[in-house]
Chains A and B, each alone.
Chain A
Amino acid sequence: MKTWFKSGSPWVWLSAAGVSISLISVVGLLFLIASRGLSFFWPSQIHQFELQTAQGQTSVVIGEIYDRERIPASQLNNAQVDLGDAESVERYLVKTGNRELVNLDFRWVLEPMVQQQSQPEDVAVIERRTNGNFYGFIEEVYMDGESVDVAKLDSFIDRVNELQEDIEQLQGTDIGAINYELERIRLKERKAELDGMLTDEVKTGFEKRRQELAAEYKELEANLNKLRRDVQRDKIVVRAMDGQTVDINLEQVLQINFNNQMGFFSKLGQFFTQIGNFIGDDPREANTEGGVFPAIFGTVLMVLLMTVIVSPLGVVAAIYLHEYAGNNAFTKLLRIAVINLAGVPSIVYGVFGLGFFVYMVGGSIDQLFYPESLPSPTFGSPGVLWSAITLAILTLPVVIVSTEEGLARIPSSMRHGSLALGATKAETLWRIILPIASPAIMTGIILAIARAAGEVAPLMLVGVVKMAPSLPLDGNFPFLHLDRKFMHLGFHIYDVGFQSPNVEAARPLVYATALLLVTIIVALNMTAVSIRNRLREKYRALEH
């Protein structure tokens, strides 16, 4: 034993445990997010519990089992149930939905209270546009007030979804465009007034256009009203778990599934449909349900803008550091600056971005170019452009370090060869160095994108919002609205997970969003690393 300790072997094993703990935590974390995130999409079985209290009262609970845990019996001071001598009790967290009938989406069910547990085939999961899911048995289907065959339900739902799409198109895109146009006319008029150019002729011009728009709007509105009437045509009658029957207008219904009737493959199909909906749909119910499309869109657009800004700057700075800078104190200072830019907390960039870009630069831009819309700010308030610029500064060191590493790996013989053949330094750079270093630059940019996609703290100050009314890119001139606020996946996680009114109900969605974000970032990182590794191999070949 003593010699064993003297050999140092226990300490080696202890340090090995350090590696194991790190590995367990990385893999465990990813596994945790993946399992929780994916189970959100998997259609789960619907259980029917018949409960009986110690007093003999019975009730029925229908829902999905979200969680189960064992708790010591001593923690329960529940007079409703006779626990006997059991030391611990199993309980289930059941999502019962039916928000209009019960206050809470979730309830705990104690195992000893369960008299009978079954999975009835004909329980329907009705996913709705508002009020969350409804679990129940479909009793009747009405078309225009007349009872019809239940089998027609599928075609009715398809019809409703088509109509809803039309309504959305009318409301969001067409009427939105008219409102946008009206606002632009107002601003133009105000601008003319400020410039002293508002003559009667100009005024009538604006007025005429306004009337045209008003006429267009009337037409659209009539259409919209007709569609709204159409969409309310059908309804279903559903019996809930407590025996009550509830009328649900199909207008509310997104889809109806009979999870308990599904086999493995139809569940798999449903699983992928749900993932598709999650990625492609807009959020509903204060972000706690529906998809995350605007957040994905906002993240991607912001990151693209950032890439456009950071790539040239980072590459140029790296070229300067590696190819031009002499070995002197100033270069050392520059390197310290790069390290520090990488080390400054991201929130500091947010503060700087808010003060400098938003209030100072943005405020000045408003004064100079958008006096007509003052006092409401255009660029003088947080927006996607300022977010992109702020994150560009934040990720600058990532691009610099990666590019410089690539430059350092290029054998100097290649530079010398080019210069010896009479090329200038600029030509050598452009024709020889940059093409060879391009994978390294790519690596840097990908790493920068991965970093930017996950950064939230500075964005909370310079442009992200929980719910953006319109995307920063749409069909209205000038199409790309750099002054608009946007939604972001990372902020979505924070907001839904911590700021939403019903955290418990929203949690699965947060896991799903987290999974999406992690997948994007891990994929980006892996790509970057594999490019870098391939590059290293290539240079190793070049050297020999």
Chain B
Amino acid sequence: MTISAKTFEPRQLKNSLARWMISAGGVSVLFTLVLIFMYLVYVIKPVFESASIEPETTIQFVEQGNTVAVGVDELKEIGFQISEQGVMSFYQLRANDQHPVGEQLLIEPLLIDDETLQKVRATTANQYILLTTKGTIKVVQPAFLLSFDGDKRMMKPAVRYPLGEDAIFIDENEAKIVDFSFVMNEEKAVILALTEDKRLIKTSLIAEDDFNYDPEFSAEYQLVQEDVEAIDFIQVTPDMTLGMVASNNEVSVYELDSDWDVPLKGQFNPVIEQKANITAMALLSGSSSILFGTDKGKVLQWFEVATADGREFQQIRSFGVSVDEPVTKIYPELYRKSFFTVTPAGEVGLFYTTSEADLWRGQMLESDQQLMAIAPRANGLAIAGNGELEVLTVHNEHPEVTWSALWQEVWYEGYPEPDYIWQSTSGSDDFEAKFSLVPISFGTMKAAMYAMLFAVPVAIAAAIYTAYFMPPVMRRTVKPTIELMEALPTVILGFLAGLWLAPLIEAYLPAVFLLLILLPLATFVTAFAWYKLPKNIKVMLPESFAPLIILPVLILAALLAFYLSPVVEASWFGGDMRKFITNDLGIDFDQRNALVVGIAMGFAVIPTIFSMAEDAIFSVPKHLTSGSLALGATQWQTLVKVVLLTASPGIFSAVMMGLGRAVGETMIVLMATGNTPVIDWSIFQGMRTLSANIAVEMPESEVGSSHYRILFLAAFVLFVFTFVFNTLAEFVRQRLREKYSSL
């Protein structure tokens, strides 16, 4: 060889460079698919993670004496404490350039000299109510004032007195108070209290203007009940409509919204079946549910349910907190339906009601007497220890989502029974999003099924004829024409389905059902007529022209169906089939229903199925058919017994591919259905599918929220669905190809 190394090398280098780059390009395809899969999983994963709690900071209290209340601000920058002397003090929790960690920022004595603190209660609106031994209360609210000095952000604590700095007597007669519950908004404050002389009283403080600006109010006093022995727990719902008093395991519910009297709404014993005692009571956020802790280690959720006899409190679910220890404290979160439980040994548990999630458990406190408070954004806990304040971080972003809540029936507050519901947004603030994937998965299945019902017979019939009976000249034009339909944008099919087909079907409903009879009938009649034709004409019009012969007949049959439609309607359905269906049969009728979707999406999948099934049938080796025909079988026998049998895996994979396409189709279902997430097989009802749901809700969902991640989960479900269908179809096809080549 005389090729010198010098000319050889750069070429070889180029060659291996090309090989390397092309290989990288090829592998990138696989990489892309894996990337999509991994990214979807990456976004979904946090939804199913359990909660975790870890220490953040600990600071020393300067103020002496026992602590009766603690808390932190929204950003966990400043913590506060109320001591038993009635002094409120604020501490820096996170260092900045003005204040080191632990610095005492503000000291505010809340009581005057002759007042002694008896009890402190906290409300869900971040107010602290100090009850004195005299029977007066004082309401304080820690405030955090944000200001900017240039680019510098400064946070300053302050104490607000929304009802003024003067002590307020709860009782008209200035009696001492044993226990009370307090709730306020900007217009009024309501107090339900038990006095030392055994009266249960309700006191309303009505703002003259608005408590946000003006602490002036007028008081109204009402007697609820006399001779009330000791009570265990007392609560007013944050919306001020109900008051609940528990004594000796009996819970009495009072209606508080009337100005004239305070009637007893009902009484129930939540623990009678468990043979337990109530050891804790709390209201869940949203003020519909009550939580009871029992001495058997359970937490029971109760709320009002509409029954035949009106609204009644019922036990909805129970949580096993501990086997042998009682649940003595329940701390509900402010905005979500999560709650913390504490046992006497100081074991803390974190639960979420609706999803029945058991999120976290651990030994965190020394005993149940140790003070604990939840940070306003529920991302932290403040615990008052031995002269110190411990702040913990709580990671619990998506407690409402669990696998079972997504796929099983869930009993939501205010619903009469457990149900599958998808309802992601609403106008009101205290709305609880309901994420059940069942109705939209069902909708996907329903749409796909009706589409397949329409598409499979037509597509496979067409494929059989085109591959087996059609002369090659005709096949060369027919096949690309039908395949052209696959290229039609689905947005156009959807638009025609929604704006043209849906009103047409509504107006000519009987015609659709007439078509089901008339089209096959017309086919058979034509076929029979052709069969009876004299031989010489048959030669001129061979059977291989059947599609062309039958084409005008079918069009005429369709026209006949539409012509007869009003006649049928008038004679059998009282002039209006739609009304007949709704009124006489009691079936709801949507204009954009499963029938429309089935037809429109059927058209979209016909070419997919047709094309692949036709390929499978056409590539059945010719010697098989020739053998069968030579042995005396008719064309039809050969087709059924030899060709279709051999090609059946191919036809199966064609149907799988079609199904995959129908499941993932977005625009047609988006435009041709009403997009209501109902579970109903009725052909006259609409549905909402996974894909349409994503298209509708994704642009509005907040990045990183549970809703966003669940929409990703919906996409992931679609991905997995179609992955299974496609891989199965491809696998079967590969096998078939190997079989053919071996034949």
Q: Which A residues are within 8 Å of any B CB, using their own CB?
A: 1, 4, 7-27, 29, 32-33, 72, 74-75, 88, 312-313, 316-317, 319-321, 323-325, 332-352, 354-356, 359, 393, 396, 400, 424-427, 429-430, 450-451, 453-457, 460-461, 490-491, 493-494, 497-498, 503, 507, 510, 514, 517-518, 521-522, 525-526, 529
Contact = CB atoms under 8 A, between A and B. Distances in A.
Contacts of B531: 4, 9
Contacts of A344: 36, 664, 718-719, 722-723
B356 interface: no
Interface string B508-550: 0000000000011001101110110000000000010011101
B499 A75 contact: no
A25 B33 contact: no
B550 A497 contact: no
A493 B636 CA distance: 46
A526 B461 CA distance: 25
A497 B671 contact: yes
A9 B637 CA distance: 11
Nearest first, the 3 A-B pairs at minimum CB distance are A345-B664, A8-B636, A320-B26
A5 to B, nearest CB: 10
B711 interface: yes
A340 B726 contact: yes
Given A345-B718, A424-B15, A497-B498, A15 B555 contact: no
Interface stretch (B47-55, B364-372, B693-701): B693-701
B80 interface: no
Interface residues of chain A: helix, strand, loop or mixed (majority): helix
A517 B492 contact: yes
Contact of B14 (A15, A312, A400, A426): A426
Given A9-B531, A18-B461, A347-B664, A337 B33 contact: yes
Contacts of A333: 30
A491 B528 CA distance: 48
Interface in B1-44: 11-12, 14-15, 17-19, 21-23, 25-30, 32-33, 35-36, 39-40, 43
Given A16-B550, A17-B519, A345-B691, A393 B466 contact: no
Interface in B553-596: 554-555, 566, 569-570, 575-576
Given A17-B550, A18-B461, A359-B703, A457 B482 contact: no
B478 A424 contact: no
A347 B32 contact: no
B664 A341 contact: no
A32 B488 CA distance: 14
A472 to B, nearest CB: 20
A325 B470 CA distance: 38
7 contacts: A18-B465, A26-B481, A72-B575, A355-B712, A454-B487, A517-B491, A529-B480
Contact of A337 (B29, B661, B699): B29
B603 to A, nearest CB: 6
A430 B527 CA distance: 57
Interface stretch (B153-161, B315-323, B452-460): B452-460
Contacts of B69: none
Nearest to A349: B36
B485 to A, nearest CB: 5
B435 interface: no
B313 interface: no
A75 B576 contact: yes
A29 B496 contact: yes
A170 to B, nearest CB: 35
Given A9-B543, A345-B663, A427-B15, A354 B465 contact: no
Given A18-B458, A23-B481, A26-B482, 8 more contacts: A8-B640, A20-B550, A29-B488, A313-B28, A323-B22, A345-B719, A430-B18, A494-B671
A299 B265 CA distance: 64
Interface in B597-640: 603, 606, 610, 634-637, 639-640
B32 A393 contact: yes
Interface of B: 11-12, 14-15, 17-19, 21-23, 25-30, 32-33, 35-36, 39-40, 43, 457-466, 469-470, 478, 480-482, 484-485, 487-496, 498-500, 519-520, 523-524, 526-528, 530-531, 543, 546-548, 550-551, 554-555, 566, 569-570, 575-576, 603, 606, 610, 634-637, 639-640, 657, 660-661, 663-667, 670-671, 691, 694-695, 698-699, 703, 711-712, 715, 718-719, 722-723, 725-727, 729-731, 734
Contacts of B548: 20
A22 B551 contact: no
Given A347-B694, A525-B487, A23 B547 contact: yes
A14 B464 CA distance: 10
A505 to B, nearest CB: 13
B457 A18 contact: yes
A345 B718 CA distance: 7
B437 to A, nearest CB: 15
Contacts of A510: 495, 499
A432 to B, nearest CB: 14
A450 B469 CA distance: 32
Contacts of A17: 461, 519-520, 523, 547, 550, 554
A325 B27 CA distance: 10
A424 B18 CA distance: 10
B93 to A, nearest CB: 26
A391 to B, nearest CB: 13
Given A12-B543, A344-B664, A498-B498, A457 B671 contact: no
A347 B491 contact: no
Contacts of B730: 335-336, 339
Contacts of B712: 351, 355
Contacts of B482: 19, 22-23, 26
B22 A11 contact: no
Nearest to B486: A525
Given A8-B635, A324-B19, A454 B490 contact: yes
A96 B663 CA distance: 43
Contacts of B570: 72, 74
B491 A493 contact: yes
A336 B731 CA distance: 8
A343 B657 contact: yes
Contact of A518 (B492, B527, B606): B492
A522 B464 CA distance: 26
Given A21-B462, A75-B575, A343 B661 contact: yes
Given A460-B699, A497-B499, A9 B636 contact: yes
A20 B36 contact: no
A317 B24 CA distance: 8
B26 A19 contact: no
A335 B27 CA distance: 11
Among A21, A24, A525, A526, which residue has the most Cβ atoms of chain B within 10 A? A21
Nearest to B3: A422
B606 A22 contact: yes
Contacts of B729: 339
A13 to B, nearest CB: 4
Nearest to B558: A24
A340 B29 CA distance: 10
Contacts of B11: 424, 427
Contact of B465 (A15, A72, A313, A522): A15
A32 B496 contact: yes
B484 A525 contact: yes
A14 B661 CA distance: 26
A541 B711 CA distance: 53
Contacts of A32: 496, 500
Nearest to A461: B698
A400 B496 contact: no
B636 A521 contact: no
A74 B591 CA distance: 21
A494 B635 contact: no
A196 B460 CA distance: 71
B39 A352 contact: yes
Contacts of A352: 36, 39-40, 715
Contacts of A529: 480
